[in-house]
């Protein structure tokens, strides 16, 4: 695996923070893409990139972070088992 020795030096807390930050950035980019497609994009994109109101956006971001937490917990579990 590339950079295996470098990744082993990173603490689990730093890995969790970086994972959460990357997931948040991807979620925010997705919400921005949905907003701009709803405002300026062709009608065919609105079906795939639906943008709701503020509570819908906040729920989407909370679900993104929940998925990151589950993924991280699974990754930690798998690393300890093997």
Please report, in tens digits, the pLDDT of each residue of the chain (82 residues total): 567 777 777 788 888 888 889 999 999 998 888 888 778 877 777 777 677 788 888 999 999 999 999 988 998 898 888 7
pLDDT computed for residue 62 by the predictor: 94
The reported pTM is 0.72
Sign of CA dihedral 61, 67, 72, 75: negative
pLDDT computed for residue 66 by the predictor: 95
pLDDT computed for residue 13 by the predictor: 84
d(CA 26, CA 21) in angstroms, rounded, equals 9
pLDDT computed for residue 1 by the predictor: 59
């Amino acid at each position: 695996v590339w950079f295996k020795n470098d990744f082993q030096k990173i603490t689990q807390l730093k890995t969790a923070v970086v994972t959460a930050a990357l997931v948040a950035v991807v979620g925010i980019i997705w919400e921005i893409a949905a907003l701009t497609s709803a405002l300026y994009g062709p009608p065919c994109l609105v079906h795939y990139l639906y943008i709701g109101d503020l509570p819908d956006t906040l729920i989407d971001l909370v679900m993104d972070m929940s998925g990151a937490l589950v993924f991280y917990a699974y990754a930690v579990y798998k690393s300890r088992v093997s």
